[in-house]
Structure 1
Amino acid sequence: MIQRHLPQYEASIHGIVTSATSHQDRRSWLFDKTGEYTTKSGYNLAVTAKAERRDHPLDWQKCIWSIKTSPKIKDFLWRVARKAIPVSANLATRGLPTFPCKLCGGIEDDLHTFLLCPLAQELGTLLLGGVELRESSRDRHKRSTLTSRKQEDISTRLLRPRP
């Protein structure tokens, strides 16, 4: 069975030294002193984990600056996270007039510009090798779904006249 399902690990698995005693293995719940799982111990673990997440919220800036990529990409991601990209919705917060997307007429915000605009979706499809990011509904806050799509030549897609 190991050879059929995990051939790359076969030697490592067969090299595991088992106990010299004749005791049977048993399952043990590590989050309770007795080693037994109870609903109470599971609940306590969930409450503790939730409290720890609340005490240590995700620090987006730290995450962005610790990514192993070029400084230009880090700067771009930081600007997106800080809403410092000059799209219509961000400019409106500074008292400037808003304007629709020049390509499709949609509301121009970060999400639209980079994910929901038809041009952004076409570019994403080409760059992701045939995977299309498609909006699941008109509600821009809903998650995008991934669907496969046949990849076309980039010059044909980018240079094609828009309706």
Structure 2
Amino acid sequence: MDKLIWAYTKSGIYSVKTGYFLASRLKEDQIPQQVLEPSTTALKSRVWTTKTTRKIKHFMWQSIAGCLPVKNSLVNRHCGTDRLCPRCDAAPETTNHLLFECPAALQVWSISEFPSSLGVFPCDTLYRNVDHLFWRAKEAKVPESTIARFP
């Protein structure tokens, strides 16, 4: 007759102690996953060294920290039911959508001197977009004067 046994004890009976031991061992054996997103801590720190007004620095920090009252966040906090962007009605209003993906935002970026590159900037991730503005644009040889004006 079949029966359930816990293979990690001699008796075959599960205990929290052996479950914790197994979980600890599995955690130690795992190879750390490669992080594909930039560190939000580094992005938030970099905000305060940007040469702009304190209000804009604060706005940039709130954007990265997820504190802006965009519709998607408000619905998650039970302050509304509609997630759609009020400007385009095509996608949920997230911080990334508001600043980089909305047609209105895309128009602003297109008339700015900041070069757009399909799939690189602007892209579908807020952190990668901000990372590009802070560091990757310099690596892509965007003029320093253009980078300094993005805030």
Of Structure 1 and Structure 2, which has the larger fraction of its residues in helix?
2
Which structure is larger by alpha-carbon Rg, 1 or 2?
1
Which of the pair has the greater relative contact order for Cα pairs under 8 Å at 6+ separation? 2
Of Structure 1 and Structure 2, which has the larger fraction of its residues in strand?
1
